[in-house]
Amino acid sequence: MFTRHEIDLIQHSFEKVMPNFFDFSQEFYNTLFAAHPEFEMHFREDRQSMGRKLLKVLLKVVNHLEQLEALQDDFSALGARHTQRGIQAAYYAPFGDALIGALHNRIGSNFTAETEAAWRKVYGVMAQMSMAGM
């Protein structure tokens, strides 16, 4: 599914945001809700709780890149929970764009086009697995 090089790019770039993950998650949600304020009503928890959930999901993905398909049931369940909150399949693309934007802003010039492509690929798989649960 992912090449060794893509896995390395994703894992190394994620290591760069981990020390300040709370700031990263805040930037992510600020970016998402600034571009799509209508999404905010679907996220009922405080930003700190949402950031912890985002961290949990991303850690699971980053640590399972070699067998990401093994997380299908987890992502299907996530998609089902999102559907219960009113999140639609069309929301996944802007969510991915906000994730990529926050990664780029936090990592800076080390977030190369190649790194972005690897993250877009992994996010695409995550989104597909989540939407399978809708």
Q: For residue range 99-134, what is the model confidence (pLDDT) as tens digits?
A: 999 999 999 999 999 999 999 999 999 999 999 999
- Measured at the CA of 23, the angle between CA 21 and CA 24, to 5 degrees, comes to 60
Nearest to 55 by CA among 93, 102, 87, 92: 102
- Mean pLDDT rounded to a whole number for the chain: 96
Question: What pLDDT, on a 0 to 100 scale, did the predictor assign at position 125?
Answer: 97
- Give the pTM: 0.95
Q: For residue range 15-61, what is the model confidence (pLDDT) as tens digits?
A: 999 999 999 999 999 999 999 999 999 988 999 999 999 999 999 99
Q: For residue range 52-88, what is the model confidence (pLDDT) as tens digits?
A: 999 999 999 999 999 999 999 999 999 999 999 999 9
